[in-house]
Each structure stands twice: as C-alpha cells, then as structure tokens.
C-alpha cells in the first residue's frame, strides 16, 4: 500500500490556485467595466503571477516521499528559479511589447500574490 505523502500539499495548492483564478477573473471583469483601457494591463499582471505559480506548484509536487528527499529539494530549487525567470519574462514582454500601465499591472500582481498568501493561511486554519 502506497500513501501519497504530498496529497495534503497538492490539495492546498489546488485550492490556492482556484482562489487565484476566481479572484483574477473577478478583477478582470471589474476592470473591464470601470477602466476598459487598462484590462490588458490587469490581465498581464494576473498572468504574471498565476501562470508561473501554477508551473511552480506542478514542478515541486513531481516527487514526494522520504526516499526521494534529494529530488524534492532539487525540484523546489528548480521550481523557484523557473518561477522567477518566467515572471521576469512576462514582465519584460508586458512592458516592452504591450506597453502595460505599471500601476494596474503591478497592482493586479500584488493583489493576486497577497490573495494566495491569505488563501494558504485560511485553508491551513480550516
């Protein structure tokens, strides 16, 4: 009988990503109604956190278990580097290709980042 030692972590990550997606969609819709000109900036801000975070979550949960301790640590390190590189790349593209408005892009990024922290705290308590 095998037990998935990372099952609770995977479940928590999925719940956190679900919160991010719901909040992201809500922010984009509200921005489309109030400031339609800045929707692309908000969408790029959301994408710059959610996409790298989803890839990071997948990357770190590839391996689990005490026998794969070294692989888990390596995956965590690689996942963090990958997340940082992808986030940086999305910011570069957002500001150079799409000429995104910094306040809306960084504001959306910050809101989604904080929501992820709060979601993790909330789901850990309940």
Counting beta carbons within 10 angstroms of the beta carbon of residue 86, is it exposed (0 to 12), middle (13 to 18) or buried (19 or more)?
Answer: middle
Work out the end-to-end distance of the chain between its first and last CA atoms, rounded to an integer number of angstroms. Answer: 28
How long, in residues, is the chain? 126
Helices (H) and strands (E) in the chain, counts: 4, 0
Mind listing the pLDDT tens digit of every residue in the chain (126 residues)? 456 667 788 888 899 999 999 999 999 999 999 999 999 999 999 999 999 999 998 888 887 766 677 888 888 899 999 999 999 999 999 999 999 999 999 999 999 999 999 998 998 887
**pTM of this prediction exceeds 0.85:** yes
Backbone angles phi, psi at 94, to 5 degrees: -60, -45
Instruction: Kindly report, residue by residue over 7-24, the tens digit of the pLDDT.
Output: 788 888 899 999 999 999
């Amino acid at each position: 009988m095998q037990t998935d030692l990372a099952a609770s972590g995977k479940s928590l990550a999925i719940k956190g990503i679900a919160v991010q997606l719901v909040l992201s969609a809500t922010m984009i819709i509200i921005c489309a109604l109030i400031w339609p000109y800045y929707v692309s900036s908000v969408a790029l801000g959301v994408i710059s956190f959610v996409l790298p975070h989803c890839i990071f979550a997948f990357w770190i949960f590839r391996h689990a278990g005490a026998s794969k301790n070294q692989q888990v640590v390596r995956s965590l390190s690689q996942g963090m580097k990958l997340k940082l590189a992808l986030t940086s790349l999305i910011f570069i593209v957002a500001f150079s290709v799409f000429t995104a408005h910094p306040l809306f892009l960084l504001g959306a990024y910050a809101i989604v980042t904080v929501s992820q922290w709060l979601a993790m705290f909330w789901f850990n308590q309940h």
